[in-house]
């Protein structure tokens, strides 16, 4: 009541009115390392006649006011000194005022949280609409453009949400998952294909069919109290066609626009090819991803500030531990370096990995921290390792062994790791929301999928798995909806429930148990999480590699042939010489290293050396 009386008195004395326009970001924090904050106000005519702007609050100064081409937008640059304390203050704009709040930072000021995703983690990717429906009340939201709800369609909404994920966090924790990556959770108010989340229409609103801001915070809290982490999917390259800055552009160069619609070429090579035509580079970076996803002009400083501040806001507001950057190389790469630097300066332990769906180790290395001598140097710490998938484990399991075929492809790809600054920060995976499910890729061969998961959980880098792979979900990605089916048991009327052992087939339970056993063993194994890698030349389909450090050694024997193979430990004396016995991690059996070790066809052993 006292605050209301003070506001009323202020109105009587000054004649200033209070009406809150759309404000982005909606609040900020005192004590951030960066002292710069650019507030974007959106309201019809807010900048008409270029009203003066002032702030009367200790430690806060208006450094510049930008009156956009579109009078519906006003940009205000604030400088926040260390003296600025948490509190609510007024920004006076002409004859009116709006309220803005500086909040106290999370405890630790960016070091005690935002812990980052490392090679010690196992990341689990979920498309929220397809995992579990925990709240049927938000399946349809009145007023939103997409009112679809049909689980019989692979492209319409199915009703999965954040509450559904929270309901199954114990399942994921039991499986051995330590980090959760969700496809984008921000508003996608598009007419159709809203299930995937990659056409954002408001960065500062959680998609209401998934939940709300409080529920997203609850998800982060529930993860953190279990010792798990949250990865946010960031989309910087584009927005949805119905984003408010597209429907009502702040300025003419907010987007990359062309005389006629121009699609990106999707060809990453033109960005580093010494012979590339400049026009090809421009089309690659500035062309639109699809006609429904306008390309943001990140060379526009207002666009850049909007995106960077939202990323920082997400960490401080929700407790995000890491970012996966969608369509990384389609972004302006200088902007990405600036964005990465801003995040890591504020949150030193935060992890960032980009989606680089490219073909070739050098292609991939160009977009991440590397040892290449190139004019452009990326500061991206990690990336998705499509090379270890396409040119590694896939051919290792599906091709016959040859000089450059079969498992020799995996060996060859690994041998090129010298180009990366830190291969342990590469994210390795078998499939994701854009790719055919690996169980289908290997012809629904149970032995092959078991070898694949054994490799995933013992190889260098950060392992990431896709929801439902542990229960042998299948499907080919043409079209992509077939690899985005519902997790059985995530809806109350599902006939089977794969979240519990009783609902799984013997084959599904076998794979589930393998993953659970290895994932939970991995948590305690320094050799597998942070150790070095040494491998030996593949021979007749047999590939042997070691993960090791000063305290532990794990021997991995992959037999990709159809026949049993027998080896002697002394063949690998550099790593086995000091050991006498080994424990089979998956069975618990003890082996004598002085005796021959037999590995069945299309099988893999993981041995902890003693």
Catalytic (active-site) positions: 326, 355
Distance of alpha carbon 340 from alpha carbon 303, whole angstroms: 15
CB 80, CB 63: distance < 8 Å: no
Q: DSSP class of residue 315?
A: H
CB 158, CB 195: distance < 8 Å: yes
Dihedral of alpha carbons 147, 149, 155, 159, sign: positive
Pairing of strands 36-42, 229-234: unpaired
CB 318, CB 232: distance < 8 Å: yes
**440: Cβ contacts below 8 Å, ≥ 6 apart:** 474, 475, 476
Query: Could you give the C-alpha distances from 120 to 2, 115, 519, 557, in angstroms and in order?
Result: 52, 12, 10, 21
Q: DSSP class of residue 270?
A: G
Q: Name the 3-class secondary structure at 80.
A: strand
DSSP string, 318-386: H---EEEETTGGGS-HHHHHHHHHHHHHH-TT-EEEE----SSHHHHHHTSSB----SS-----EEB-H
**Alpha helices for 347-490 (secondary structure H):** 361-366, 386-388, 394-398, 407-415, 438-441, 446-456
Q: Name the 3-class secondary structure at 418.
A: helix
Residue 494 tokens read as 């599902």
Distance of alpha carbon 112 from alpha carbon 348, whole angstroms: 10
Taking the CA of residue 74 as centre, how many other CA atoms within 13 Å lie in the half-sphere pointing to its CB? 24
Query: Could you give the C-alpha distances from 609 to 118, 360, 529, in angstroms and in order?
Result: 24, 35, 16
**Chain Cα centroid distance, residue 426:** 12
Query: Could you give the C-alpha distances from 269 to 277, 358, 426, 449, in angstroms and in order?
Result: 11, 9, 20, 32
Q: Give, in degrees to the nearest 5, the angle at Cα 113 between 108 and 118.
A: 140
**Phi and psi (nearest 5°) for 91?**
-105, 115
Buried b (16+ CB within 10 A) or exposed e, 221-234: ebbeeeebbbbbbb
Q: 93's torsion region: left (phi>0), alpha (psi -120 to 50) or beta?
A: beta
Residue 567 tokens read as 């080896």
Pairing of strands 581-584, 590-592: antiparallel
Distance of alpha carbon 510 from alpha carbon 199, whole angstroms: 38
**Closest Cα partner for 308 from 348, 341, 261?**
341
Q: Give, in degrees to the nearest 5, the angle at Cα 586 between 581 and 591.
A: 20
């Amino acid at each position: 009541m006292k605050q209301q009386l003070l506001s009323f008195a202020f109105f009587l004395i000054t004649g200033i009115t209070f009406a809150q326009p759309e404000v982005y970001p909606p609040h900020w924090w005192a004590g951030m390392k960066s002292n710069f904050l650019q507030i974007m106000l959106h309201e019809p005519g807010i900048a008409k006649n270029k009203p003066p702007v002032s702030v009367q609050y200790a430690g806060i100064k208006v450094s510049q006011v930008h009156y956009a081409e579109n009078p519906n937008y006003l940009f205000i640059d604030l400088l926040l000194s260390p003296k600025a304390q948490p509190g609510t203050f007024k920004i006076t704009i002409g004859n009116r005022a709006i309220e803005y709040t500086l909040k106290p930072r999370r405890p630790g000021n960016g070091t005690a949280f935002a812990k980052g995703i490392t090679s010690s983690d196992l990341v689990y990717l979920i498309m929220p609409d397809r995992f579990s429906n925990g709240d049927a009340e938000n399946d349809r939201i009145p007023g939103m453009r997409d009112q679809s709800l049909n689980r019989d369609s692979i492209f319409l909404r199915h009703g999965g949400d954040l509450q559904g994920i929270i309901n199954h966090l114990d399942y994921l924790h039991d499986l051995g998952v330590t980090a959760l990556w969700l496809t984008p959770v921000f508003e996608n108010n598009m007419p159709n294909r809203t299930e995937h989340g990659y056409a954002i229409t408001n960065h500062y609103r959680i998609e209401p069919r998934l939940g709300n801001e409080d529920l997203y915070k609850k998800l982060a809290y529930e993860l953190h109290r279990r010792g798990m982490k949250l990865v946010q999917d960031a989309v910087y390259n584009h927005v949805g066609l119905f984003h408010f800055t597209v429907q009502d552009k702040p300025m003419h160069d907010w987007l990359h626009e062309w005389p006629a619609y121009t699609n990106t070429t999707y060809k990453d090579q033109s960005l580093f090819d010494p012979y590339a035509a400049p026009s090809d580079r421009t089309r690659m970076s500035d062309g639109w991803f699809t006609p429904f996803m306008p390309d943001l002009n990140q060379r526009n400083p207002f666009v850049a500030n909007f995106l960077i501040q939202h990323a920082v806001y997400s960490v401080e507001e929700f407790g995000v531990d890491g970012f996966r950057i969608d369509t990384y190389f389609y972004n302006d790469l200088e902007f990405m370096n600036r964005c990465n630097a801003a995040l890591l300066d504020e949150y030193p332990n935060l992890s960032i990995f980009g989606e680089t769906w490219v073909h070739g180790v050098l292609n991939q290395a160009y977009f991440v921290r590397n040892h290449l001598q190139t004019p452009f140097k990326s500061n991206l710490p990690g990336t998705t390792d499509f090379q270890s998938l396409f040119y590694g484990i896939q051919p290792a399991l599906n091709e016959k062994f040859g000089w450059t075929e079969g498992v020799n492809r995996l060996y060859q790809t690994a041998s090129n790791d010298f180009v990366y600054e830190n291969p342990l920060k590469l994210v390795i995976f078998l499939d994701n929301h854009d790719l055919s499910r690996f169980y289908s890729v290997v012809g629904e061969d149970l032995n092959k999928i078991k070898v694949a998961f054994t490799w995933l959980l013992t190889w260098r880098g950060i392992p990431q798995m896709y929801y439902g792979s542990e229960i042998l979900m299948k499907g080919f990605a043409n079209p992509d909806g077939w690899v985005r089916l519902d997790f059985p048991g995530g809806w109350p009327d599902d006939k089977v429930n794969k979240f519990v052992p009783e609902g799984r087939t013997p084959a599904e339970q076998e794979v589930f148990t393998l993953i659970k056993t290895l994932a939970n063993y991995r948590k305690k194994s320094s050799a597998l999480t942070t150790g070095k890698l040494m491998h030996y030349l593949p021979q007749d389909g047999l590939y042997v590699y070691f993960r090791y450090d000063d305290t532990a050694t794990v021997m991995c024997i992959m037999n990709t042939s159809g026949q049993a193979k027998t080896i002697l430990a002394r063949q690998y004396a550099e790593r086995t010489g000091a050991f006498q016995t080994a424990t089979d991690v998956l069975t618990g059996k003890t082996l004598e290293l002085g005796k021959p070790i037999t590995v069945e066809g299309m099988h893999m052993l993981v041995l902890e050396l003693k």
